Amino acid sequence: MSFPTAKKLYAVIDGTWPAAVKLALGPWTVRLDDSNSSRANAATAELPYKADDIGIAEDAMIDGGQRPLFMIREGESDLDDLLAARGYLIKDPVNMYATEVGRIAGAIDVERTLDVWPPLAVQSEIWAAGGIGPGRIAIMDRARHPKSTILGRIADTPAGTGYVAIAADCAMIHALEVADTHRRMGLARDLTRAAANWASAQGASYLTLVTTRENDAANALYASLGMTLVGQYHYRTLPE
């Protein structure tokens, strides 16, 4: 058991948030999905490539009805530069966090959170209000068990939701959403702790997640929980 690295978390993302179609084409892994989720739509370089090979991935994504999108991981500055030269723009720089499950798992008000699978209609409504639609819920359905969702409540009112799944020894939280009217009430912290409790019960060693660098509130929360920033990545996409 070793603390998750950035490389490991790239695989955990794939395992817990799987694309509908995943193709190995030349030096690329190409993901195709109608969810509009970058994590399930981006191509990644898996083998040495030449500049001309970029067209292989571009053509596959266009043929699949997607705008070309590449995930740029740590150590891939050459690919970043090649895509920039082709007119690709940076999209969604992301921070990746990890911690031992036991650092976050602990007692929590049982009235505030509930483990639920499959997700309830009210959870879908909360997600939809936050821009997380049926395509992304289909990703949750597609993922292998163990997985669950966490329903968050304030005064018996559904107020937040999140999805958590396990790959290898890591649980990863996705789609953590708190309704606008219930923010700044500590519910995101409770949802994160509830996810850690669930992960601990399933035997996971680590709790992990990703969030955009511009999400100041989320980054502050995960830092306050003692989570470690283990890496970053961003996307490159062609403008419309």
Q: What is the pLDDT of residues 29-67, one digit of tens each?
A: 999 999 999 999 999 999 999 999 999 999 999 999 999
Task: Calculate the alpha carbon distances from 16 to 62, 107, 167 in Å.
Answer: 25, 26, 6
Best CA proximity match to 167, nearest among 55, 4, 11: 11
How many other CB atoms are there within 10 angstroms of residue 53's CB atom?
A: 17
Q: Give helix then strand counts, H and E, for the chain.
A: 8, 11
pTM above 0.75, yes or no: yes
240 falls in which pLDDT band (50, 70, 90)?
confident
Residue 206 scores a pLDDT above 80 = yes
CA distances from 225 to 65, 97, 112, 122 (A): 40, 11, 18, 28
| pLDDT tens, residue by residue, 226-235 | 999 999 999 9
Helical ranges in 22-180 per DSSP H: 54-63, 77-85, 101-104, 121-129, 134-142
User: What pLDDT is recorded for position 232?
Assistant: 98
Residues 23, 40: Cα–Cα separation, whole Å: 12
Contact criterion met (CB below 8 Å) for 170 and 12 = yes
The whole-number pLDDT of residue 159 equals 98
Residue 66: phi and psi, rounded to 5, are -115, 150
- Of 132, 177, 134, the C-alpha closest to 159 is 177
Confidence of residue 163 (pLDDT cuts 50, 70, 90): very high
pLDDT score, position 182 = 95
Which tokens is 44 given?
A: 């990644």
